[in-house]
Structure 1
Amino acid sequence: MELTAPQPLTALLAACKQGHTASYQALYNRYAKAMYNTCLRIVNNTADAEDVLQEAFLVAFRSLETFECEAAFGSWLKRICVNKAINKVKRERKRWLQMDEAPIINFQEEESIDEDEFAWKIDEIKRAIQALPDGYRTILCLHLLENYKHHEIAVMLDLSASTVRTQYIRAKSKLLQLINGEK
């Protein structure tokens, strides 16, 4: 088996636009893992994340002709994945915003911790994020992990920016409760 250097993105996109199937596969292989992780953080289910990923790539491949090369392809594809994942959550949980009122609390800085405890804390935080209600998890992940601003999330979810901020604060509060073992 001969190893070849990966094609530059512009050449790969041009080959895809000309219908070269191997280029589609190479483009998929280049971005699938990162996009899958983005989808998984939002839908919180591996099968749903795989479905959303496939739908997003289909949309992207069908829309390559309209893709403007001035925009970063990865950002464009990520936006498609995020929108598809959000739509999946919306379809399955039509009224997730009607949640119990969670109190808003202030977060305090923790003392420094050793590396083993730090690794344990990371796993605990991941489990707690997965246990959050869909709406809280979606907003928290989009803001903290995907680096979207509140107003961008508001547009994606068709909510007001103040609702997104409130849900984000409640998500952090609920996350802290889950980490501390509270109900």
Structure 2
Amino acid sequence: MTTTTSNINELIILCKKGNQKAQYDVYNLYYKAMYNISLRIVKDSHWAEDIMQEAFLKAFTKLDSFKGEVTFGAWLKRIVINHSLDNYKKLNKEDVSPLDQVLYKVEEDTETESNSIDFSLMQIGQVKEAINNLKENYRIILTLLYIEGYDQEEICDILNINPGNCRTTISRAKSSLLKKLSA
């Protein structure tokens, strides 16, 4: 069965009315993708499962704030990413500097070179492994950029950083990834 936008919209209307079967159907439609998103951020399967479940609960309780300006999947994805990042920061507080302190401040002589990465000749597993072995801030920003498909403006909003920090961090993360992939 192919799920259409109208089917999802009908399910969302039923969910807003408290229909548990509709909530279960929505959960079944999105749980794998949302779990994978969380897993890429927190890097622990049990933790990702918990975060994903909590994000669904949060989404179902806040369905009235869903206005349909974006697709339901995009709205839910944003909740999962934010919840994953919040939990990751909380649980790693002692081990990791806060993300905004790790991100680089834009210098007057910001690098202007463009680091383009050609993934076509590489195995997906190699690229994922290389990204997972980067520093936390590089891993998160490249995951949002390349895997989740967010643009720089959206990444700035998600990570609560300014555009200059975002561009610099992406540039440095790409350089670091290139070094890891060429090694």
Q: TM-score range by the shorter chain?
A: 0.7 to 0.9
Unaligned runs of 5+ in 1: none
Give, in whole Å, the separation in 2 of the partners of 1:13 and 1:158: 29
**TM-score normalised to the size of structure 1?**
0.79
How many residue pairs get aligned? The number is 168
Which residue in the other structure is 1:142 paired with? 144
Asked which structure has the greater CA Rg, the reply is 1
Name which of structure 1's ranges 64-73 and 81-90 shifts more when overlaid on structure 2: 64-73
1:20-59, CA deviations, whole angstroms, 9 ceiling, x for partnerless residues? 2111111100011111111122222222221221121011
- Across the aligned residues of Structure 1 and Structure 2, the Cα RMSD in angstroms comes to 2.7
Identity %: 37
**Pairwise CA distance, 1:15:** 1.7
Which residue in the other structure is 1:32 paired with? 31
1:113-153, CA deviations, whole angstroms, 9 ceiling, x for partnerless residues? 5xxxx4xx322111111111221111111111222222221
Which residue in the other structure is 1:98 paired with? 102
Give, in whole Å, the separation in 1 of the partners of 2:181 and 2:172: 14
Letter in 1 for 2:78: R
Give, in whole Å, the separation in 2 of the partners of 1:109 and 1:60: 35
Change (3 A) 1:77 1:50: same
**Pairwise CA distance, 1:174:** 1.4
Unaligned runs of 5+ in 2: 105-110
Give, in whole Å, the separation in 1 of the partners of 2:8 and 2:33: 16
**Pairwise CA distance, 1:106:** 6.2
Change (3 A) 1:63 1:107: closer
**Pairwise CA distance, 1:170:** 1.3
Give, in whole Å, the separation in 1 of the partners of 2:3 and 2:71: 18
Q: Which consecutive segments of 4 or more residues in structure 1 shift more than 6 A?
A: none
Give, in whole Å, the separation in 2 of the partners of 1:152 and 1:16: 28
* Residue 169 of structure 2 corresponds to residue 176 of structure 1: no
